[in-house]
Amino acid sequence: MPDESPLEAEVGPDLAGARLDQALVALFPDYSRSRLQTWTRDGRVEVNGEQRRPRDKVALGDRLRLHAVSERQVACVAQPIPLRIVFEDPQVLVIDKPAGLVVHPAAGNPDGTLQNALLYHDPGLSELPRAGIVHRLDKDTTGLMVIARTQAAHKRLTGAIAAREVRREYRALVVGGMPAGGTIDMPIGRHPTQRTRMAVNPMGKRAVTHFRVLEHFRGHTLLKVLLETGRTHQIRVHLAHLRHPVFGDPVYGGRLQLPGGASDELKAVLRGFRRQALHAKRLEFMHPTSGRAMRFTTPIPADMRVVIDALAADADIHWQDRDHDDNDDHDTFDSFDGFDDYGDEED
* Averaged pLDDT, 266-276: 96
Given this model, what pLDDT does residue 340 score?
Answer: 56
Q: Comparing 38 with 172, which gets the higher pLDDT?
A: 172
Q: What is the overall mean pLDDT for the chain?
A: 88
Q: 224 with 211: CB under 8 angstroms?
A: yes
* Averaged pLDDT, 28-56: 85
Tens digit of each residue's pLDDT (9 = 90 or more) over 292-328: 999 999 999 999 999 999 999 999 988 865 555 545 5
For residue 94, pLDDT beyond 50? yes
Q: Where are the domains of the chain?
A: 7-66, 85-141, 167-343
Q: Is 261 left (phi over 0), alpha (psi -120 to 50) or beta?
A: left
Strands 220-227 and 208-216: antiparallel
For residue 204, pLDDT beyond 90? no
* Averaged pLDDT, 143-172: 95
Point out the catalytic residue in the list 62, 138, 140, 314: 138
Separation CA 105–CA 77 (nearest Å): 10
Given this model, what pLDDT does residue 305 score?
Answer: 98
Given this model, what pLDDT does residue 80 score?
Answer: 96
For residue 23, pLDDT beyond 80? yes
Separation CA 35–CA 68 (nearest Å): 9
Given this model, what pLDDT does residue 43 score?
Answer: 86
For residue 5, pLDDT beyond 70? no
Q: Please tell me the class of the 167-343 domain.
A: alpha beta
- Range with the largest mean pLDDT of 5-19, 167-181, 191-205: 167-181
Q: Comparing 254 with 327, which gets the higher pLDDT?
A: 254
Q: Is 169 left (phi over 0), alpha (psi -120 to 50) or beta?
A: beta
* Averaged pLDDT, 111-124: 95
CA distances from residue 186 to 207, 239, 249, 301 in whole angstroms, order as listed:
6, 11, 20, 29
Instruction: Determine whether 3 is an active site residue.
Output: no
Given this model, what pLDDT does residue 344 score?
Answer: 58
Model pTM greater than 0.85? no
* DSSP output for 301-343: PHHHHHHHHHHHHHHHHH-SS--B-S-TTS--S---SSPEEEE
Given this model, what pLDDT does residue 326 score?
Answer: 46
For residue 107, pLDDT beyond 70? no
Dihedral sign, CA of 276, 33, 75, 95?
positive
Q: Which fold has domain 7-66?
A: 3.10.290
Given this model, what pLDDT does residue 324 score?
Answer: 53
